[in-house]
Structure 1
Amino acid sequence: MSAMYGHADDDWLMRAHGDIDQWAAVMDVDADDRPIDWNWVRTLDLVHGVGVATVHDCDAGASSDVHDLLRRDLMIRDRLEAILTCCDRVFMTDYDRLIPSYRLPRALAHANRRLNDEINLLRDRGVTEGLWTVAYEHRERVTVPVLQAAEGAPAVDDIQDRTAELVNGRAERRKRAREQRGAGERLMVAANLEGAIAAGGAAADEVTTAASPIGSDWRDVYLPGRGLDAVMGIDIETTGTDPLRDYIIDVGFEYMNMVAPRPQDAPAGMPYVDSSYQAGDAYGQARLGFGVTRANAWHGNETIRNLTGIDVKMRSSSQWRLFDEWPQAQQGLLMRLEQQPFVAHNANFEHRFFLHNVAGYAESYRAGHIVIIDTMPMSRRWDEGSAPSEAHPYGDNSLESYAKRQSALPEDSSERHLGLEDAHIMLVAMKHHLTALREAHRGPWAPMACPVPAANAPKVAAGRVVAALEWWHDPSRT
C-alpha cells in the first residue's frame, strides 16, 4: 500500500523500532488488560504499511477476497490501537525517565492512520461490488460504520467495526476504577479518624464530609491566572476526531496580549477569509494547510467538506504535504508552542493530535516546557451564560456559543470551522472575558484565587496526574 501512503521520511520510522525494548520494559499490558506481544510489534512494517491489502486489492473487481482482507485489517487495527491508547499515560507517568522518546507511538499512529485509510477503501470496494451497505450509527461515545449484508451475500458479523464496543468498555472500566479508588480513600479517611472521635462526638460520615469539601479540581491548572499576558491562540481542523486515525489538514494561529497593548512593530500576518473579521489586538496571524494520503483522498470526506469547505479529494497532490511527514513544519510549530502559553478551546483535542503528530511535543510537554490554557473550562466555570440546561447538561460551552456570549462573534454569524478564524474569535472572547472578570473581581481575581498563570499537566501534584490523564482520554468528557 506504500503507493497510497505518501512519501514518508523512512529513517525515523525505521529508527522507531529501536525504541521497542524501552517500552517493553515498562508497559506489559494494553488498554484491554491483555499482555502486549512486543515481538509482534517488531514485525510491523512501519514504512510500507501494516495492513494486508495491496493497492490493487482496494479496486472493485479485484480477484482477492475483500471480506478476508477487511477482517484481518480490522484485527490489526484493534490490536494496535489497544497499545497506542496506553502510551501517553505510560510516558507521562514514567517518572524514572526509562522512556526518553515518544517516537515509537508517533510511528505506530502514523501507520495506523494509513491502515484506517485501507480499511475504508476495502469497505468501499465491498459496497461497489454489492456485498454490503454501510450506515453510520452513534453508540454512546463514538460513531461507527455498520455493515448490512446484501441479499444472498455472506454474513458480515466478523467484519463489523468494534470501535464502540472497545472504547465504551474501556471508559466503563476506568469509571469503575475511579469509583473504587474513591471508595477506598473515603474508607481510609474514616478509619484514620475513627479513633479520634470522642464518645458522643460527630458521626463518622459527618467528619468525612467535613474532611472532603467539594472544591476545585485538577482542571483548574488549565485556567488562566492573573499574570497572564502574551498568548498564542491555535485551532486545528482535521479529517475526524481521532488522532490515531485522522489527519491534520489546517492549522491557524495568532498572538494577542491579554493586558499589554498590541506591539507597535508586530507583524500583521495573514488576512482572514471573512472580511468582517477585524484583527484588533491580534498579530502574527498564520494559516498552514496540509494534505492527506491518496487513499484518504480516494475515500473522500463529505462531512469535513460540508463543515470546513476543505475537500480532501483535492489534497493528495504534491503541492499538499502531509503534516505527519513534514518534520520542518512540526518543529516550527513546536518552537512557537514553547515560547508562550498556547490557548485552545477544548485543548484536549489539539493536545492529543500534537502528541501523535509533532516530533518532540510529548517530550517537551512532559518536561514542563509547554503551558496550555483552555477556554472551555473558562466558559464552564466563569460564564453564567453556560449554565447547565436540559439541552446542555454541562452547559453550552461550544466555541461559537462562548464567543457570542463574550461579544466576539455576532449573533447572526457562525463559527467558520477554519483554524485561523476560530483561533481569532477564541482569543477575542478570552480577552473580553478576562477584562470583565478583572473588573468584577471574579475568576482569577476572586478572593483566594491563584495569582499565577496556569501551569501544565506535568506540574500537577503527583497524586492527581493519573486522574488528569484518564480525563484527557475519556471520550465521554464534555
Structure 2
Amino acid sequence: MDLSQAIDCASALVFPGFLTDDASLSAERARNEDALVTLMGAWREAPAGKEPCAFDLIRSLADRNRDLCDRYGIERLRNVNVSTLARSLSNEDLIHAVAVLQHRRDAQVARLAGPDARDLNVAWVDAPVSGMVVGIDIETTDRDPARGYIINVGLEFMTVGPDARPHDPFAGYFGLPEMYAEKGVPLADIHRISWSDLEGKRPFREDSQAQAALLAALTAYPYMAHNAAFEDSWFMLHIDGYAEARKAGRVVPIDTRDICRRVDPETKTLPHEQRPASLESWARRRGTLKAGESERHLGLDDVELMLATVQAEFAARNML
C-alpha cells in the first residue's frame, strides 16, 4: 500500500456494523494494518513539521482497527504477518539512553559504541550512571497495539545511584468492552488478570486523565522497561501526544533487556533456550528473584523486580 492509499484508508468513513461476514472483516483488518504500518513509517521518517498527516489520524485508525478485531475475534489473529509492534529500539535510541544516564553527549557514546552500536557494552561501563528514571511495565490483551488493549499499568520512580530505592509506586487497571465478560480476558494465562479485576473500569484509550498523567511522567524522566520497544510501540498508539513528544526528543526510553545483553557476560554463555536476557532469568542471576519464585507478569511487581535487578547489575559491574 502506498502513502496516498494509506491516508485514504485512515480518512475513510467506515461503518463497522456493515461488515458482517468473515471475509469482509478480515479484508478490512488487513487493509487497516497495512495502512498503519505505511503511515507510521512515513510519519517517523518525515522531518518535524512535514509529516504526511497528524498522528491523531493514525491513532484513530488504530482505534477503529481494534474494534474491528473484536468483531472478527481477536483469538483468530495470531498468525498474521503485518504488525505495528517494533522488534527493538533503534541504535540511535540505545546510544542516547547511555548518554542520558552518563550525562554525556550522544557523539561521545557513539564513538565508543561504533556506528552500528556493536560495542555499546564498552560505552555502558566507560562512565558512571546516575539520575532519576521512571520504571514502567504494562499488561495487554495482545502483542500488537493496533489489536489489543492496555489493561494494567505499573510504574515507580528511582534515582539511579549507590543507595537507590524505588519510590512513589502506582498500579492501575483499565477496562475492556463488555463482550470480554463472557469471552474472558485475552492472555490471562500470562498476566492472570481476570474480568473481576477490570469490571467497571474505564478503557485506557477512553481515560484521557490517565493518559495525560502517564505522558507527564514519561516526559519528566527517562523511562526504563524490559524490552522497551514493546511499551514504546503501545504508547505510540494508546497515549495521546506520546508519538509527538517522542519525536521531539522529550521521551527517552531505556531498554533494560538491552542493558542485560550488553553488560552481563553470562547472557553470551548461557544456552539460548534458557532465555538469559529475560527478566526472570536475569533476576535469578542477580539474586533479586529467589529460587522457586517466578516473575509475576503484572505491572508494578515487574517494575519493582526490574529496577532492583538493573540496580544490582550496575553495582556488580562497578557502574555506579
- Aligned-pair CA distance for 1:215: 4.4
| In the alignment, structure 1 residue 309 sits paired with structure 2 residue 192 | yes
Spell out, residue by residue over 1:23-64, the C-alpha distance to the aligned partner (whole angstroms, 9 max, x if none): xxxxx716xxxx61644543334xxx53534xxxxxxxxxxx
Aligned mate of 1:255, from 157, 160, 172: 157
Aligned mate of 1:97, from 49, 61, 72: 49
Once residues 214 and 284 of structure 1 are traced to their aligned partners in structure 2, the CA distance between those partners, rounded to angstroms, is 34
Amino acid in the other structure paired with 1:405:
R
**Contact 1:51/1:76 (<8 A) preserved:** no
Q: If the length of structure 1 is used for normalisation, what is the TM-score?
A: 0.55
Amino acid in the other structure paired with 1:254:
E
Once residues 149 and 173 of structure 2 are traced to their aligned partners in structure 1, the CA distance between those partners, rounded to angstroms, is 11
**Contact 1:255/1:283 (<8 A) preserved:** yes
- Aligned-pair CA distance for 1:301: 3.5
- Aligned-pair CA distance for 1:428: 0.5
SS at match of 2:128: coil
| In the alignment, structure 1 residue 397 sits paired with structure 2 residue 277 | yes
| In the alignment, structure 1 residue 428 sits paired with structure 2 residue 308 | yes
- Aligned-pair CA distance for 1:306: 2.4
- Aligned-pair CA distance for 1:384: 1.8
**Structure 2 counterpart of 1:237:** 139
- Aligned-pair CA distance for 1:259: 1.1
Once residues 216 and 402 of structure 1 are traced to their aligned partners in structure 2, the CA distance between those partners, rounded to angstroms, is 28
SS at match of 2:35: helix
Residues matched between the structures, number: 289
CA 253–96 in structure 1, closer or farther in 2 if over 3 Å, else same? closer
CA 397–216 in structure 1, closer or farther in 2 if over 3 Å, else same? farther
**Contact 1:403/1:409 (<8 A) preserved:** yes
- Aligned-pair CA distance for 1:362: 0.4
CA 42–338 in structure 1, closer or farther in 2 if over 3 Å, else same? closer
- Aligned-pair CA distance for 1:359: 0.5
- Aligned-pair CA distance for 1:392: 3.5
Aligned mate of 1:419, from 276, 288, 299: 299
**Contact 1:251/1:287 (<8 A) preserved:** yes
- Aligned-pair CA distance for 1:388: 5.0
- Aligned-pair CA distance for 1:223: 6.4
Once residues 214 and 70 of structure 2 are traced to their aligned partners in structure 1, the CA distance between those partners, rounded to angstroms, is 26
Once residues 391 and 40 of structure 1 are traced to their aligned partners in structure 2, the CA distance between those partners, rounded to angstroms, is 41
* Aligned ranges 1:322-471 → 2 under 5 Å: 322-387=203-268, 389-392=270-273, 396-438=276-318
Once residues 239 and 9 of structure 2 are traced to their aligned partners in structure 1, the CA distance between those partners, rounded to angstroms, is 25
CA 110–223 in structure 1, closer or farther in 2 if over 3 Å, else same? farther
- Aligned-pair CA distance for 1:250: 0.3
Once residues 314 and 52 of structure 1 are traced to their aligned partners in structure 2, the CA distance between those partners, rounded to angstroms, is 33
- Cα root mean square deviation, aligned: 3.0
Once residues 323 and 258 of structure 1 are traced to their aligned partners in structure 2, the CA distance between those partners, rounded to angstroms, is 30
**Structure 2 counterpart of 1:117:** 70
- Aligned-pair CA distance for 1:226: 2.9
- Aligned-pair CA distance for 1:435: 1.4
Amino acid in the other structure paired with 1:230:
M
SS at match of 1:36: helix
* Aligned ranges 1:55-134 → 2 under 5 Å: 69-99=21-51, 101-120=54-73
Return the structure number with greater relative CO, CA threshold 8 A, min gap 6: 2
SS at match of 1:356: helix
SS at match of 1:250: strand
CA 298–314 in structure 1, closer or farther in 2 if over 3 Å, else same? farther
**Contact 1:52/1:73 (<8 A) preserved:** no
Spell out, residue by residue over 1:386-419, the C-alpha distance to the aligned partner (whole angstroms, 9 max, x if none): 12555449x6211111111122111210000100
Once residues 356 and 40 of structure 1 are traced to their aligned partners in structure 2, the CA distance between those partners, rounded to angstroms, is 17
**Contact 2:9/2:32 (<8 A) preserved:** no
SS at match of 1:105: helix
- Aligned-pair CA distance for 1:235: 0.4
CA 314–423 in structure 1, closer or farther in 2 if over 3 Å, else same? closer
**Contact 2:11/2:57 (<8 A) preserved:** no
**Structure 2 counterpart of 1:153:** none
SS at match of 2:254: strand
Spell out, residue by residue over 1:109-168, the C-alpha distance to the aligned partner (whole angstroms, 9 max, x if none): 1111111000018x8xxxxxxxxxx8xxxxxxx943xxxxxxxxxxxxxxxxxx24x56x
Amino acid in the other structure paired with 2:135:
G
| In the alignment, structure 1 residue 287 sits paired with structure 2 residue 253 | no
SS at match of 1:235: strand
**Structure 2 counterpart of 1:50:** 16
**Contact 1:300/1:313 (<8 A) preserved:** no
- Aligned-pair CA distance for 1:385: 2.0
**Contact 1:101/1:363 (<8 A) preserved:** no
Gaps of 5+ in 1: 1-27, 54-65, 124-133, 135-141, 145-162, 172-212, 263-280, 439-443, 446-478
SS at match of 2:136: strand
- Aligned-pair CA distance for 1:108: 0.7
Answer with 1 or 2: which has the greater Rg. Answer: 1
- Aligned-pair CA distance for 1:342: 0.5
| In the alignment, structure 1 residue 29 sits paired with structure 2 residue 8 | no
SS at match of 2:310: helix
Amino acid in the other structure paired with 1:310:
I
Once residues 359 and 39 of structure 1 are traced to their aligned partners in structure 2, the CA distance between those partners, rounded to angstroms, is 22
SS at match of 2:49: coil
Gaps of 5+ in 2: 88-111
Q: If the length of structure 2 is used for normalisation, what is the TM-score?
A: 0.80
